[in-house]
């Protein structure tokens, strides 16, 4: 029946009942045996990768380095882009196999590394150790990043590099990996026809790249600060139907939620990494500077909601504000207890900056109750509780340092996300405002 040319593909597939067709005897082999037999395909895969990469590199060079060269994103070019993606999938699957981390498969790992490394360094790799081989393989794969023309391929390339960094006995590749991912995030990506990439699939690829960018960095707090002060500000100022950042074109109207969620979610781990890097011997002023940066970032991200307040952004803000406030109460407040007397101006400035953010966060809570969106309101009680805890914790800090006169509590009016007063008593709540008097600390 399937041999009849009039039978369509769907009917052919429907007749076939055996899911394992073509691989009916594969389960007779162990994963290690399958890997050993598959080794012979690795060299041809690398040859094809180099050929396709060279072709795209030539097209880009002929167009003065511009990615959207004439004929690059036509229908005829799509099969070649797809093949390139599949080739990277093959290499990624191979290097991601957990068995390569097992001692009994060390010979297979060395064989894989030598096959790939020979493509860059030739026969000289035969006498190299594992660490040197891994370094060459990382360099070989990362060299392709300048010629990938599909963000799906770019995502696979990064995942392949991550797999290399997870192999045993290797140098630290984090800085080089972050450099590669940053270059990919700063690139314009195009779909068939030369239009800018967009949509759910594109957003998912941006998410993968951004996540690895922040995860692999030794100083994610610095990267987050740079994005907030540069690309995010550019996006906020952009106008037109398709606003985007000039320095990070992957940050646009469609991916704002991806960037916003990742920046907030990595803020906490970024703070912890920065504080850990300072070590126990660091002085308190250095720790205050870390928290000053963190609060500046938090303020920038919360204020984004004044102009861009989609449901996705509001959920991300409420969800991650909770973990930020918990970390602040647990880590920053004990530090300020100690620093208030000797660094009062820095502590007061820091708290006043945080107060502006928490005030707008209260407006977000109010807005969530007004629109009665359960996906938002479920975060509100915990956030409001933490805001109240913060106020009383600051009061306790001032009492500890014998300067209670610097503290005042008052009723905050209900306001919406734009700061306009809400004339309703349905959702009345109390908000505490702290006023700091400089002369209190000068005694």
Per-residue pLDDT of the chain (443 residues; tens, 9 = 90+): 344 444 443 333 344 445 555 666 777 888 898 889 889 999 999 999 999 999 999 988 888 777 777 778 888 889 999 999 999 999 999 999 999 999 999 999 999 999 999 999 999 998 899 999 999 999 999 999 999 999 999 999 999 999 999 998 778 899 999 999 999 999 999 988 888 899 999 999 999 999 999 999 999 999 999 999 999 999 999 988 889 999 999 999 999 999 999 999 999 999 999 999 988 777 889 999 999 999 999 999 999 998 998 999 999 999 999 999 999 999 999 998 888 888 888 888 898 889 889 988 988 888 888 888 888 989 999 999 999 899 888 888 888 877 655 554 555 556 666 556 655 543 333 333 444 444 444 43
Give the model's pLDDT for residue 21: 54
Tell me the sheet residues that pair with 244.
252
Buried residues in 249-270 as b, exposed as e (16+ CB within 10 A)? bbbbebbbbbbbbbbbbbbbeb
- Give the count of beta carbons closer than 10 Å to the beta carbon of residue 19: 6
Give the model's pLDDT for residue 4: 45
d(CA 95, CA 85): 15
Nearest Cα residue to 231 out of 254, 216, 252: 252
Give the model's pLDDT for residue 371: 84
Give the model's pLDDT for residue 372: 82
pTM higher than the cut 0.95: no
**SS3 (DSSP) at 56:** helix
d(CA 31, CA 191): 37
**What is the full DSSP assignment across 338-376?**
HHTTTSHHHHHHHHHHHHHHHHHHHHHHHHHHHHT-HHH
Up-side HSE of residue 338: CA atoms within 13 Å toward CB? Answer: 9
Long-range contacts of 323-326 (CB under 8 A, 24+ apart): 323/268, 324/264, 324/267, 324/268, 324/294, 324/298, 325/358, 325/383, 325/386, 325/387, 325/390, 326/386
Give the model's pLDDT for residue 433: 40
Give the model's pLDDT for residue 431: 37
d(CA 132, CA 130): 6
Give me 184's structure tokens.
């990919």
Give the model's pLDDT for residue 419: 59
**Are 296 and 225 in contact, with CB atoms under 8 Å apart?**
yes
Up-side HSE of residue 87: CA atoms within 13 Å toward CB? Answer: 21
Give the model's pLDDT for residue 68: 73
């Amino acid at each position: 029946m399937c041999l009849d040319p009039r039978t369509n593909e769907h009917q052919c597939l429907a007749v076939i009942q055996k899911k394992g067709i073509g691989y009916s005897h594969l389960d007779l082999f162990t994963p290690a045996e399958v890997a050993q037999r598959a080794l012979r395909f690795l060299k041809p895969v690398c040859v094809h990768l180099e050929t396709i990469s060279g072709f795209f590199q030539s097209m880009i060079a002929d167009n003065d380095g511009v990615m959207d060269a004439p004929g690059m994103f036509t229908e005829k070019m799509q099969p070649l882009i797809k093949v390139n993606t599949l080739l990277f999938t093959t290499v990624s699957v191979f290097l991601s196999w957990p068995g390569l981390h097992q001692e009994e498969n060390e010979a297979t790992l060395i064989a894989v590394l030598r096959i790939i490394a020979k493509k860059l360094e030739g026969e000289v790799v035969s006498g190299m150790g594992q660490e040197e081989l891994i370094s060459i393989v990382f360099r070989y794969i990362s060299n392709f990043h300048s010629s990938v023309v599909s963000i799906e391929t770019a995502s696979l390339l990064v995942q392949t590099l991550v797999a290399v960094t997870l192999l045993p006995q290797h140098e630290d590749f984090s800085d080089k990996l972050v450099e590669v991912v940053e270059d990919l995030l700063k690139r314009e990506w195009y779909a068939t026809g030369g239009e800018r990439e967009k949509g759910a699939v594109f957003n998912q690829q941006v998410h993968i790249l951004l996540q690895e960018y922040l995860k692999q960095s030794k100083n994610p707090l610095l990267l987050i600060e740079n994005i907030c002060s540069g690309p995010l500000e550019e996006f906020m100022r952009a106008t037109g139907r398709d606003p985007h950042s000039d320095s990070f074109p992957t940050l646009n109207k469609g991916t704002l939620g991806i960037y916003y969620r990742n920046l907030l979610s990595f803020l906490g781990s970024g703070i912890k990494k920065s504080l850990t890097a300072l070590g126990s011997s660091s002085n308190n002023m250095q720790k205050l500077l870390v928290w000053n940066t963190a609060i500046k970032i938090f303020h920038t991200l919360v204020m984004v909601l004044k102009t861009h307040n989609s449901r996705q952004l509001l959920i991300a803000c409420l969800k991650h504000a909770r973990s930020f406030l918990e970390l602040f109460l647990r880590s920053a407040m004990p530090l300020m207890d100690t620093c208030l007397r000797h660094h009062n101006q820095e502590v007061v400035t820091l708290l006043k900056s945080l107060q502006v953010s928490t005030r707008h966060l209260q407006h977000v809570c109010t807005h969530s109750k007004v629109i009665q969106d359960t996906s938002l309101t479920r975060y509100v009680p915990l956030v409001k509780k933490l805001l109240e805890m913060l106020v009383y914790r600051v009061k306790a800090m001032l009492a500890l340092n014998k300067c209670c006169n610097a503290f005042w509590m008052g009723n905050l009016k209900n306001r919406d996300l734009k700061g306009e007063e809400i004339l309703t008593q349905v959702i009345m709540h109390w908000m505490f405002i702290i006023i700091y008097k400089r002369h209190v600390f000068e005694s």
